[in-house]
């Protein structure tokens, strides 16, 4: 929104920015204050409190239930890994999130890559999509 607002003419030349969203939303407040750093700081604090990236690393496994279970069984996850789910993703598919501290990010990536390699070598029939720090958590 700030990028779009920056394209408006200056107020002295009759320029205006109209935001029709709820003014209590943090992103709208950032536009009204013209302070993206305030919004970024608030967003980071919220993400740290919730254990979301970039405070932690999250991997998303999406696929048929049997495939997700198989990949999870083949992976040696780092100590302290939190499993969130699985939940239904779409018809015949489910999604599982794995959350680890940032210090275990490389170990999580290595474990999931190794598990995918094992499944590939066995020609596992149920494909599973693995995403690190997916944009959409829900």
Where are the chain's structural domains?
A: 2-50, 57-132
Q: State the chain's mean pLDDT as an integer.
A: 92
CA distance linking residue 92 with residue 65, whole number of Å: 8
With CA atoms as reference, report the closest residue to 57 among 10, 97, 85, 8. 97
Q: Is the dihedral of CA 80, 102, 49, 53 positive or negative?
A: negative
> Is-above-0.85 flag for pTM?
no
57-132, which class in CATH?
alpha beta
Residue pLDDT, tens place only, 1-48: 788 888 989 889 999 888 889 989 998 899 888 889 999 999 999 989
């Amino acid at each position: 929104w700030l990028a779009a607002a920056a394209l408006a003419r200056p107020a002295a030349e009759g320029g205006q920015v109209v935001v029709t969203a709820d003014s209590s939303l943090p992103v709208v407040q950032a536009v009204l204050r013209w302070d993206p750093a305030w919004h970024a700081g608030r967003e980071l604090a919220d993400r740290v409190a919730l254990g979301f990236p970039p405070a932690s690393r999250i991997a998303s496994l999406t696929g048929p239930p049997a495939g997700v279970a198989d990949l999870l069984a083949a992976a040696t996850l780092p100590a302290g890994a939190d499993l969130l789910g699985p939940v239904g993703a779409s018809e015949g598919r489910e999604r599982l999130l794995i959350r680890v501290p940032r210090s275990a990010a490389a170990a999580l990536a290595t474990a999931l890559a190794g598990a995918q390699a094992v499944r590939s070598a066995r020609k596992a029939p149920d494909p599973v999509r693995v995403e690190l720090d997916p944009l959409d958590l829900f």
